[in-house]
Structure 1
Amino acid sequence: MAQQELEKPTGPLAGLRVIDLSINVLGPVATQILGDMGADIIKIEPPSGDQNRQNGPGKNPDMAVFYLIMNRNKRSVVLDLKQAECMEALLKLVETADVVVHSMRPSAAKRLGICYEKIRERNPKIIYAFAPGYRGDGPYKDMPAFDDVIQGESGLAAINRGLDGQPRYFPTVIVDKFCGYVLASSISMALLHRERTGEGQQVLVPMLETMLQFNLFEHLWEGALGSSNGEGLGYTRMFSTHRKPYATLDGHICLLAVNDEQWRRVLKAIGRPELLEDPRFCRMSERMLNINELYGILGEAIATKCSADWEKIFAEADVPHGQVRELNDLMKDEYLKETGFFQHVEHPTEGELVMTSIPVQFSASPGNVRYLPPNLGEHSLEILAEVGYSAETATRLSQSKTKKAGTASSTAAQPMPLAAAESPKQ
C-alpha cells in the first residue's frame, strides 16, 4: 500500500512534475530540493533500485540511511527501461512532466533511448537536465566522474593538504552536493525561461567546471589580473597556518573579522586596543601582508579564557563567532532544538526517523514535506494509473525484468541498464 500524501504542496514549485532518473547523490540531492519546494518528483528506479538503498545501516532491506536522507518528497516507480513496454511507460510519463533529470553520461543516455532529442520528441517543452563530469562540447564529455576525482581535478584536494603536505579529500561529498544544488537552481531558471517564452531546453551542469568556478571565486586571485602562467593563484589569507579554530581553555572557537570596523571590535574585545594604531594592522592592505602575525596574536589571547567566556565577550562586541561542535553534538544543540531543525517522523515501514527541516524560508510559499522516503516501487501502480494503465498492466510492467543474456527480448535494443549507465558519483 503506497503511503498517502501527508499534506498538499505549498512551495513555489507546486504543480510541476519532475521525472527523476538519477541515482547516488548529485541527482537525488537536486530532486529532493525541487520536491521540498513543491514539485511532484517521480523517481524511476530499475528493479534493483537506487544503489544507495544498500548504502549504510537500515531497519529493512533497500531502505539504508544514505537513501533515506536524500529521497523524501518523492514517489517511486520501478521500470526496467531495457524493455520496450517499460520505456513506453516512461515516455507517457514524460508527456505529463515539466522536467526530466538523470545522471548518466551522454552516450549512455543515447543508448538507453532517453537523450534530449528523444525526450523532446514526446514533450517539446520539457526541461531536460543532467550533471555529467565534464562539458558536453569537450573531449571528456563521456568520461565517468566520481566526487573524489573532481575534488582532485578542481584543485580542492590540493588546497586541503594535510600537515604532511599530501593532498586530501574534504571529508564530505562536496562536489556531488554542491553540483546538486547548482542543478536544482539551474532547472528552476530554465523553468522561469519557459514560463516567459514557452521554450523548453537542455540544462547541463558539468561537475568539473562547476567546481572550478566554485574554487576559483577567491583563489583566482592575481590570475584575475591577466596572467596565464599559473602564478599568483590562491587567496593568501586562506593558507595562513593560523587560520583555524582558536583553542580556548576548554575547547575551540571560531570568529572572523573582514573589515576595519570588525577588527576594531575584535582587538578591543581581546584587550589589545593599542594594535588599532599599529601600522601593520590598521588597514586592510597592511593586515593582509601581516595576517599570520595578527592571527597569531589573536590565538594567544583567546587561549587565556574558556569558550563560554569568549562567546559572551564576542556577542557583546558584535563579532561573528561560534564554538566548534562535533557532529555528535549537533542533535543536542539548543538553538537547533529551538528552531526545529531536526524533525522526528514516523515512517510507515521504517518506524521513527530523524530528518532535517527545509532550510530555505519563503514567506508566501514555504516548502513542506509531503512524502517520506518511499519503498522501492511503492507508487508504481498509482503513478502508472495516472497515465492510463490498468492495474493489471501496471503490475506487470513494474514487476518485469529483462531476461538474462541469450534470451533477451527482441524488442529491446542493447542499451546499458540504468545503474550501469550512470556516470558514477559517490
Structure 2
Amino acid sequence: MSAADRGPLSGLRVVDMSTTLMGPYCGLLLAQLGADVIKVERPGGDIVRDISDRSGHGLGDFYLNFNRGKRSVVLDVSNDADAAILREMIADADVFSHNLRPASARKLGLSYDSLASSNPGLVYCSMHGFDQRGPWRDKPAYDDTIQAAAGIAAMQGGTTGAPPMYVKSPIADKTVGVFAVIGVLTALYERASSGLGQEVSVPMYETMVAFTAMDQQGGTVFDPPLGPKGYARMESPHRRPYQTADGYIAVMVYTDRQWASFFTLIERPDLLADDRLLTIGGRTENIDELYALVAEVLPTRTTEDWLHILDSLDIPAAPVMSIDEVVKTPQSIASGVFESVDHPVLGLLRQPGMPVTFGRTPPAPAGPAVLLGADSAAIRDHYDHKSGAQR
C-alpha cells in the first residue's frame, strides 16, 4: 500500500496512553487520517472495553467506535521492565498522548521534561481537566462535570427556571479530542521548521468554556456588560423541532429572503411590511413571536409535504430522525459516512468513518478495534531485539 493509499498522516507514529473517550477520540481521528497509532493499555484494558460488551471479548460498543485503526499493547507501567519499553516506544514516536492528570504523569516519569531529552522532536499531548495555572489544576474531571462547570448544563436547561440538563452525548470529551488533534497537527507543522517538538496542553474546562462562550456571552462580552448573556434565538422556548400533521420537522427560516418566502407561503403579507421583522436584528428581538408562528402553521401539513414545499423555496428543513434511521438515509449511503467493517471476532460492523475527504491522499478505511494486547508480543519482541542490539 502506498503512502497515498494510507492517508495524509502516513508514516506518523503515535503512542497513545489515554483511556475512556477524550484521548481515544483524538487517537481515532489521527488513525483515520493514516497515522500508526499504538494504544498502550494497562492490564485489564481500557475501562470502556466493558461498556455494553455484548460478546465478552472486551469489545464494547464505545470501544469499537473510539478505537478503530489502532494497535494494542498491554504494559504495566508500575513494572520497571514495562516502563522501560514504554519509554523506548516514546523515544521512537512522533507523538505521545495521554489523559493522565499532570501530577500523575510526573509521578510515573512521563512528564514532557522527562521524555524530551531522549526525543527532542516529540510532540507531547496532555489532555486533562483543568489548566495548570488555576486552583482546580489537580481536580479529576469527566464529561458530566465539565458540562456543568463550563456552563453547558445550565444552558441546556434554559432560562425559564428549568433544571440544568446534560447534552445526551459526551460532547466535552469529543470536542476536547478534536482540539487535541488541532494542537498535535499544529505542533507537527511547527516542528517541520524548527526540528523540535513541544508540549501541547489541552484542558477540558478551558476548552469547553471557550467553545461555549463564543455564542453564549451575549451582552456580557462587553466590560462592563451592555446586555444579558445568551443568544435570544438559541434560548427561545419555541426553538425546537416542530410538530407536523404526522410527525416532526426541523425548519430554519433565517435570511431576509427566506422569511419573505415563508410569509408569502403562509399568506401573511402584513408581516412582509412589519418594520420589526425586516432585518435579522429585529427578527432576533422578536424571535419568540416568529417561532410561535412557525409552530402554529406546521401542523396543517404532513412532514413530507412540508419538506417538498420548503425545499422548493430553498428554506432549510430536515426530518427528525433517530440514529438508526440516519444510517439508512440516501445521503449517508451515498457519502459513505458509515463504513462496513469486517471484524475478525465480531463479524460485520457498521461504523462512522472519517467525514473529511482529501482529493489527492484519501485515507484508507481504518481497521477494526482489536482484542486487548493483540500486538503485545510483536511490540515487545521488537523492543527486546532493539535493546539486545544496543547492548
Alignment TM-score, normalising by the size of structure 1: 0.86
Deviation readout 1:359-382 (Å, 9 max, x if unpaired): 111111222224210111101122
Contact 1:75 1:371 in 2 (8 A): no
What is the root-mean-square deviation of aligned Cα atoms in Å? 2.2
**Is 1:312 aligned with 2:312?**
no
C-alpha distance in 2, partners of 1:156/1:248? 30
Aligned residue for 1:389, secondary structure, equals helix
**Is 1:222 aligned with 2:225?**
no
Larger RCO of the pair (alpha carbons < 8 Å, separation 6+)? 1
Tell me the residue number matched to 1:208: 205
Moved more, 77-86 or 265-274: 265-274
C-alpha distance in 2, partners of 1:248/1:147? 35
Aligned residue for 2:165, secondary structure, equals coil
Moved more, 279-288 or 142-151: 279-288
Aligned residue for 1:218, secondary structure, equals helix
**Counterpart AA for 2:176:** C
**Is 1:348 aligned with 2:344?**
yes
Contact 2:4 2:362 in 1 (8 A): no
C-alpha distance in 2, partners of 1:238/1:391? 59
Once the two structures are TM-superposed, the CA of residue 31 in structure 1 deviates from its matched residue by 0.4
Q: Give the ranges of 4+ consecutive aligned residues of structure 1 lying more than 4 Å apart after TM superposition.
A: 5-9
Report the count of equivalent residues: 387
**Counterpart AA for 1:208:** Y
Tell me the residue number matched to 1:50: 46
C-alpha distance in 2, partners of 1:279/1:329? 42
* Cα distance change on mapping 1:8 and 1:379 into 2, 3 Å: farther
C-alpha distance in 1, partners of 2:387/2:93? 21
Identity %: 35
Tell me the residue number matched to 2:102: 106
Once the two structures are TM-superposed, the CA of residue 339 in structure 1 deviates from its matched residue by 2.6
Tell me the residue number matched to 2:64: 68
Tell me the residue number matched to 1:178: 175
Q: Which of these residues, 21, 24, 39, is aligned with residue 20 of structure 2?
A: 24
**Counterpart AA for 2:175:** F
Contact 2:149 2:205 in 1 (8 A): yes
**Counterpart AA for 1:181:** V
Aligned residue for 2:369, secondary structure, equals coil
Aligned residue for 2:275, secondary structure, equals coil
C-alpha distance in 2, partners of 1:78/1:8? 31
* Cα distance change on mapping 1:390 and 1:127 into 2, 3 Å: closer
Q: Which of these residues, 360, 365, 372, is aligned with residue 369 of structure 1?
A: 365
C-alpha distance in 2, partners of 1:255/1:270? 14
Deviation readout 1:114-136 (Å, 9 max, x if unpaired): 11111112211100002111102
Contact 1:8 1:370 in 2 (8 A): no
Within-5 A mapping of 1:4-403: 10-161=6-157, 165-227=162-224, 232-389=228-385
1 or 2, which has the higher helix percentage?
Answer: 2
**Structure 2: runs of 5+ lacking an equivalent:** none
Moved more, 99-108 or 252-261: 252-261
Contact 1:269 1:314 in 2 (8 A): no
Contact 2:130 2:137 in 1 (8 A): yes
Contact 1:134 1:206 in 2 (8 A): yes
**Counterpart AA for 1:276:** L
**Counterpart AA for 1:158:** A
**Structure 1: runs of 5+ lacking an equivalent:** 393-426
C-alpha distance in 2, partners of 1:214/1:360? 21
Once the two structures are TM-superposed, the CA of residue 7 in structure 1 deviates from its matched residue by 9.9
C-alpha distance in 2, partners of 1:159/1:99? 36
Alignment TM-score, normalising by the size of structure 2: 0.94
C-alpha distance in 1, partners of 2:264/2:379? 63
C-alpha distance in 2, partners of 1:370/1:25? 18
Tell me the residue number matched to 1:416: none
Once the two structures are TM-superposed, the CA of residue 343 in structure 1 deviates from its matched residue by 2.3
Moved more, 376-385 or 240-249: 376-385
